[in-house]
C-alpha cells in the first residue's frame, strides 16, 4: 500500500495506515495472508492476488462495515485509491456548493461495486452502477443487497 503526500487529506489511511497485525487478529481470512517479520511487524505480499483480495475484503468490512463478495476471477479494487477518488469528488461537490441529492454513475462497476458502495456509505450519495459483464452485474447486485443499500444503488446491465 502506498501512503504518500498525494493521498487525500481526509483519507483516514493517510495518517493512520491499516494495522495489519491487528486486522490479522480479528479477521482469519486476512491472517492467512500475513507473515510476521523479525521485528514483529505483520507483512502482506502485495504480489499475491489472494492476499490483496483478503486485505480489500478486510478493510471494507472493518473500516466501512461493508460485506463484499470479491470473486477470484474478478478485479480487486484498492480501497485507499477508491476512497481517495471519492473524497476528491466530494471536495468538488462542496467547493461548487452543489445542493440536493448527489447521484453518481459508475460505468464498469465490476463485481465489487466498490465506488457505489463506498460512495453511499461514506458520502451518503446515490449511484447507478453499470457493467456489461453478466457475472459482474449479478455479484454487484448481491453486494448491494448484502449491505442493504438498494435504496441508494441501482445496478444495471
At residue 4 the predicted structure's pLDDT band, cuts being 50, 70 and 90, is confident
At residue 137 the predicted structure's pLDDT band, cuts being 50, 70 and 90, is very high
Domains and CATH numbers, the chain: 12-156 (3.40.50.150)
Question: What burial class does residue 132 get, using C-beta atoms within 10 Å of its C-beta: 0-12 exposed, 13-18 middle, 19+ buried?
Answer: exposed
Digit-coded pLDDT (tens) for 11-69: 999 989 899 999 999 999 999 999 989 998 899 999 999 999 999 999 999 999 999 99
Distance CA 93, CA 21 (A): 36
Question: What burial class does residue 40 get, using C-beta atoms within 10 Å of its C-beta: 0-12 exposed, 13-18 middle, 19+ buried?
Answer: exposed
Closest CA to 54 of 26, 82, 81: 26
Amino acid at each position: 500500500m502506498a501512503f504518500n503526500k498525494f493521498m487525500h487529506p481526509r483519507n483516514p489511511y493517510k495518517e493512520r495506515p491499516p494495522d495489519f497485525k491487528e486486522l490479522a487478529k480479528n479477521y482469519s481470512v486476512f491472517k492467512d495472508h500475513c507473515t510476521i517479520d523479525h521485528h514483529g511487524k505483520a507483512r502482506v505480499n502485495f504480489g499475491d492476488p489472494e492476499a490483496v483480495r483478503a486485505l480489500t475484503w478486510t478493510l471494507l468490512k472493518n473500516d466501512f462495515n461493508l460485506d463484499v463478495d470479491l470473486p477470484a476471477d474478478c478485479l480487486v479494487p484498492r480501497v485507499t485509491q477508491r476512497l481517495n477518488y471519492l473524497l476528491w469528488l466530494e471536495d468538488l461537490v462542496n467547493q461548487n456548493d452543489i445542493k440536493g441529492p448527489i447521484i453518481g454513475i459508475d460505468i464498469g462497476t465490476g463485481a465489487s461495486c466498490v465506488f457505489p458502495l463506498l460512495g453511499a456509505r461514506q458520502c451518503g450519495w446515490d449511484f447507478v452502477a453499470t457493467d456489461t459483464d453478466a457475472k459482474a452485474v449479478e455479484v454487484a447486485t448481491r453486494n448491494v443487497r448484502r449491505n442493504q443499500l438498494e435504496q441508494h444503488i441501482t445496478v444495471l446491465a
